[in-house]
Structure 1
Amino acid sequence: MAAAAASLAEDDDSLRAVITEHFVNCPICFKEYDEPTSLPCLHSYCKGCLKTHVGDLTPGRTFSCPVCQRETRVPTEGLEGFSHNFYIESLQDTLLQPPRKRTCGACALATGAVVDATSKCISCHEYLCEQCAPYHCRTKFTKDHKIFTLEQLRSKEYKAEIQELQIFLCPDHKDEAIKYFCEKCQRPICRDCKILLHDDHKCISLDAAAESVTQTLQTKLDHLEKKFKEEDELLLALEKNTIDVEANIKQRAVHLHSLVDQQEKVLMEKVHAQKKSLDISLEHRKTNKGTVDLVKGFLGHASPGELLMMQQQLCDQMDNLQSSSSSRKIPPLLSFQLQTRDGVEEDLFKGKWFGDIVEVQNLEFRTTEKKETDIWNWSMLSVLEPQNVVQDSQEMMQMLEKPSCGEEKEVRTQKMRPPARCVQEFNTNCKYPGAIVVTGDQKYAIADFNRESGQVCVYLQTGEFDEEIIEAANNNELDTVQGLCHLPSGRTVISDYENDKIFVMSKLWKPVTVKCIDGPCGVAVNSKNHIAVAQMHDQCITMFDIEPNGKMTEIYLIEPDDFPSPFCLAYTSEDFLVVGHVNDGRVDILSPSGDIICHYTGPSNDLKKPQSICVDRYDNIYIADRRRNCIHIISPEGQFIQYFETEMGGVSFRFPWGLAIDQDGDLVVGLYGGKVKVFSFLE
């Protein structure tokens, strides 16, 4: 029973998370729905927001849905002609914690007063306060109405009774309840509608119609899910194939580069050998030139007597130099030049020796229906390297006079073990475990991104709660912790976004230093003990040096031109800085000097919300995408490797918020709601 109750509670939490993500906020104002109103395309908005968006509510006028851009016509009744979304309203009353506050409609109508509602009439959907509720059913028109308190609406005990008694009023006949379903018109109707407009149509009960519609929708849903599964398999296969082809291209380029490099070495040695064969001695020529300079000196400065005394010796030396000079051995017009073959550059430009990309039809992933095959029959890419390309490579070797290409350099790779195995799982007090760091004593320090709590919780390796850090330096309570990083000295750096401060904490979580900085987010430390602090709203990263006493000194600013929303940070072993732009679906990799080397936006530009980043000891980079519920793995060069896959959940996670690598090289994942899981994944 306890296990069943726990499972139900977890299902409720999961459902609440999905509802919070997709059904709570209006897409226009981004606030909770106020009078949720649906368009024919099924997208819903606040009634007031929709009125503002449409502007001109003249019947027949068309406007675009803000979400899907579908053209929608204003009904004859204007804004009132659109359907009220009772489903969203019901979710607000039953599943959301805390529930949306409601006000009494009777008090508002009678006196204009704003009084909190405590009950709801499920017959007319009127919210009532504690005083008005007893009187609601005392009129001829409302005597059969059913009233439940807001607590009863949220209780599962009354769910079946509420669904059975709930009444929906006809939009055409305001006081009549919907009781029938017209099969011809495919719409729910009331008694008056049946008599006046649908008398000769076949009408059935709502329960019978709901059963039939449920079967129809379930059939369509099964069909779509099957189609999406096949599409996912195709896309994953294409993604894997693309990665393989990229690796083949790089290997091919390395191979051809090695041919050119080796031939460069051969030609260099050849020209040096030819030059040496001429037997030109620089030292000998330097001596001869000294003799020439001596004769010049005599001619310019010696007296006539001195010149005549030495004239015979000077003439003999000059004759000897003339007869024995090595210059006579050098051909008068000798020079070297590199002789190349015409058309080589053109052949290289056309990829003659490199290869080409060809489409090879992949029959393995054909979908079951012909129409779907026509749409989703992907062609797989491959590097063209058949016999003709091999012959071109041999021709290139012959052209370069290359006797041997030697052994290729071995490339070290770290293989992952798919799927990853969960080795630890525990619950925390952190609703949004967005920053996770493993301390020197092998504990998990977890920051809660929830602005209402502002805390750092510490847990033992076993998952047991150890302590809670609420207060930092000078009695400053933590407000919104956005980043954590552990220093080699054993200290921990905490960034507090709302307080505009960076705190350096001792091993015992006592404050050592506090540094004021505007809107700090993610933090990371490199091999030089320099701390990088992301400032999302200032669109920059500030670098600090930290001294042994904990004092932080600003050393420089990283502020590229295109740097929209730097939020989370991590360093590779080579001090390359990985930066996640949380609001722009992008990850940048920066050189140690701060220059952007590359951008990563996902395999198909589908990276949406990079919430957290970490790097393992092999420099694999892990990116938690909170919006798409997955974790990307990329190389230090920004190339997609794969999605992180687990034994139980595949590649899907429920809102991943925080990531870290622990002392065993395992991946620590913080999930929405406070659950933390540790995965073993490397071979």
Structure 2
Amino acid sequence: MAASESKGGIGAHAAASADETSDFLKCPVCKREYTDPVILPCLHTYCRHCLASTLPQGDLGRALPFKCSVCKHEVIMPADKVEEGFKRNYYVEGVLNNKSPASGQRKCVVCEIVKKGGEVNDASSKCISCQDYLCSQCAVYHCATKLTRDHKILTFQQLGLAEYQKEIQANQAIPCATHTDQLLKYYCLPCQTPICRDCKALDHDDHKSLSLPAAFEVIKPKLLHKVEDLERRHDNENEKVARLTEMAAELEESKKKIQAIIHQRAEGLRKIVLFRENQLLEEIDNEACKQQAILAASRDHHHGNHTLLADVLQIIKNILQQGSPLEVLLLKPELSQRLDNLQDTSFDDSLPNQPQFKLKTSQEFETNLKTGMAFGKVEIDWEEVQVPMQPPPSPKLQAKAECILEFDSGCNFQTGISVSPDNEYVIVNENPGKLCIFTSQGKLKKEIVDISGTPLKNPIGICHLPNGTTVVTDIGNNAVMSLTSQWEQQQSLDIHSPQGVALNLNNHIAIAQHAEKCISIFSVDTEGLLTKTATIKENKSREIFAGPYSVAYMSTGDLVVGDLSQIQVHILSYAGEPKHAYTVLGPDNNKGQPYGVCADRYNNIFVADHNNHCIHVVSAEGNFVKYLVTRDDDLRHPWALAINHDGDLVVTQEEGKVKVFRYLEK
């Protein structure tokens, strides 16, 4: 979001002056123009008293986090309270002081002094030299005195015009907070703060300082470089929004397509079911008719036998019951013969098998029908989508890197280094396990030997998230820890043999696992909590790594891995597919040890070759570019690497030395 579009943001003087009703000049709490504006680290501005009123009373005076009400960025409450801890927003204050006042809003300061109790004229102009408001008559006399003849007066209309802004800024005068009778005129480079004449003489006498205009010419290009990076990030995010819009439309189209297929399949299945129903009913009708005919034939046969036997039995019984003895005896031969014939006749005692219809079904089909598998199952094919951020045009490498800072950390095994959002160097010492925080000038601020009561055993890698969250790997504890900006543990995950760690622009973290021969990928949420999402280990059933130790991300999203066992640096795609490999060989063609890797904003890859005492520069395609620093430059056993906020290369060495090299041409 452009600064002039957000509440409390930092915009252009002229733009702010041109739009006096803009929210730019209004406090997000009271909705009125700022009174005593203070700026937070997220660059949003509040009235000092409004900011204090939004915080719980118990928080005042304690270094506790709170969230900006505009952007929800977590901010640490200064230990010396909000009244003194947050910096005044001199820019917004200057815009307010130099904007065109409404008619009758300001009174002439000279009239107020001269006409005590009388009518005071409305001011119509302002002296930008002494900041006094004047009426048209007093403005003429103001430049007539010996003391004020060189003062510059602008009408209220001129105050709002862009053509006068540089002149207004040139006359800007801000007193020193320590020496209130002195104006800020110099800039201390080591302390990175404006100072007055007395500060320069008393407190910064051994520091290098520049005049404010000269310091501005030094600082502005550095800030513009960062602005360019942020603009590229902004454009990249815009491309992602556009791609996500396309993805949503494609998803809707895919949904409609599959819904149509489901309807078609359902209709087809209904037709199949109806056809099969009729077919089975016809089959059972035909088979029933056939079996009924068999049963009827058998029944007719046995019914005939039954009728024959009944007729014979009836005749014989009548003769025996009603005939005289003589009549029976006379018919005895015929009766006996008929009975014998019938008894000798072989009657078919068997009956047809009893037919019983059953419906035989498939248990698998029944199961699939109940689970819906017979009908179909909706699945999603995931296609990885990337919108890589284009690197800026790369300046040339200096013929010889310039060491601009060197200090001794007191750490003999500096396995990791990261630059915090506050531009501090945080160094990881493996043995004894500790984190050491240094200023950008190499002064020790703090040492940390345990995290929320858990001792650091053998920490190796470290990286910082933009919100101040720190991620540290500890091979001694077999853990990766997520720490708050106050160095308190908010999460600890068990992970075997964790080594180097790196963060990409999409808030994914890569951790090298030496013994496991893999890289584990974690996503990081807004609270700084990690969730494992993938493992990079094999490609086409073949192991990629033999001993991964150091990792870094390029701005394109590609992953760089230093492998100690293979003495190679692997360059992999965002998805973990191998793209290039660089074999680490020293100036004398000796095998190297890629203890540290990092990449700058231009996708130059740097490799710390520990046993060859040199820094390799490697292209994004895995080609050797040059040795940036060697043993001839007094480099000894380089270990961890990082790029600081000024784009310089920071190198830790065994035995405690830390060096910062400027390597790009201006």
TM-score band, normalised by the shorter chain? Answer: 0.3 to 0.5
Q: Is the radius of gyration larger for structure 1 or structure 2?
A: 2
